Amino acid sequence: MPLLKLQEITRQYKSGQIRVNALKGISLTVEEGEFVSIMGPSGSGKSTLLNIIGCLDRPTSGTYELAGQRIENLSDSRLADIRNRFIGFVFQSFHLIPDLDAQANVELPLIYRGMGARERRFRAVQALEAVGLAERRHHRPSQLSGGEQQRVAIARALVGDPKVILADEPTGALDSRSGRNIMAIFQQLNRERGITIVQVTHEKDIACYGRRIVYLLDGQVEREEILEDPQVAF
């Protein structure tokens, strides 16, 4: 059973009289344990697709199964459950809360689950250790470099034990060395823990850390490429 199975997904945005067909029939299957990069020019539908994969948005038509579960007709609260159970998100601009230290940022998803403080702290420190930042757990975002902030964001994505991490331009705000560091963490999580990674990027250099590249053009899959020798970041 594939982890993600999208068939003939369309997404039309309507604003007043204007309709934009952002996705025009996308079919995509991702097996558990894959590392997939989605590439394409600005406006090709990458973020729209990632939002649908992440259950943040619903398709206009088509079917989507996540871990065998059809998601199109689920209620918003069931969708939120599935999202919390299976998916970790990483964004270009980190989306950390400035007034909270790294550990408290990482604990947030666990607070929403109603987990007790001791268990939360244990898991948050473990997740920060996985990204090499345990010793900075009491730093606030403003006291961390961009690369370190993104590592905190990855720890926050990891702390709920997701099956898949969805990353939208995860290196877009970083210099190339920090970006490579983020790719090293993704490759390690993918290889050592079997976490599926789906990342959106417009940079070929970054896409090449994945094993498969899906090229979008104008809301459709233009082609796919399997890399026999993906770039190794560490």
Task: Tell me which residues touch ligand ADP (CB under 6 A).
Answer: 13, 15, 20, 22, 40, 42-48, 92, 168-169
- Nearest CB to ligand ADP, comparing residues 19 and 193: 19
Residue among 60 and 188 whose Cβ is closer to ligand ADP: 60
Q: Which has the closest alpha carbon to 89: 147, 157, 32?
A: 157
CA 187 to chain centroid, in Å, comes to 13
Unique residue bearing structure tokens 């998601």: 71
**How does DSSP assign 191-206, residue by residue?**
HHH--EEEEE-S-HHH
Q: Give min distance, CB of 20 to ligand ADP, in A.
A: 4
What is the rounded distance in angstroms from the CA atom of residue 101 to the CA atom of residue 99? 7
Nearest residue (CB) to ligand ADP, 20 versus 111 = 20
C-beta closer to ligand ADP: residue 22 or 154 = 22
Q: How far apart are CA 13 and CA 28, in angstroms?
A: 21
- Smallest gap from Cβ 109 to ligand ADP, in A, equals 20
Of 50 and 102, the one with the shorter C-beta distance to ligand ADP is 50
Longest dimension (CA), the chain: 53
Instruction: Report the nearest approach of ligand ADP to the CB of residue 88 (Å).
Output: 17
Written as six digits, the tokens of 102 are 């790294």
As a whole number of angstroms, the distance between CA 138 and CA 150 comes to 15
- Least separation in angstroms between residue 33's CB and ligand ADP is 25
Tell me the closest approach of the beta carbon of residue 18 to ligand ADP, in angstroms. 8
Q: Which CB atom, from 3 or from 23, has the smaller least distance to ligand ADP?
A: 23
Min dist CB 48 to ligand ADP, Å, is 3
Helices then strands, counting H and E runs in the chain, come out as 7, 10
Distance CA 50, CA 167 (A): 8
